[in-house]
Amino acid sequence: MADRSLSEFLRMPEEVTKGNTLITVFERSTVTIDNYKGLLLYDPCEIIVKANRCHVKVCGVNLNIDYFTKNDIQISGSINKIEWS
Q: Using one digit for the tens of pLDDT, what is the confidence trace for 60-78?
A: 999 999 999 998 999 999 9
Q: Could you tell me what percentage of the chain is helix, strand and coil, using 3-state DSSP and rounding each to the nearest 5?
A: 10, 60, 30
Diameter over CA atoms, the chain: 48
**How far is the C-alpha of 75 from the C-alpha of 66, rounded, in Å?**
6
**How far is the C-alpha of 24 from the C-alpha of 10, rounded, in Å?**
18
Angle, vertex CA 67, rays to CA 66 and CA 68, nearest 5: 145
Using only C-alpha atoms, the chain has a radius of gyration, in whole angstroms, of: 14
Q: Using one digit for the tens of pLDDT, what is the confidence trace for 10-29?
A: 555 565 556 788 899 999 99
Q: What is the pLDDT of residue 24?
A: 92
DSSP code of residue 6: H
Q: What is the pLDDT of residue 20?
A: 82
Q: What domains, with CATH codes, occur in the chain?
A: 6-84 (2.60.40.2000)
DSSP code of residue 28: T
Q: Using one digit for the tens of pLDDT, what is the confidence trace for 42-52?
A: 999 999 999 98
Percentage of the chain beyond pLDDT 90 is 66
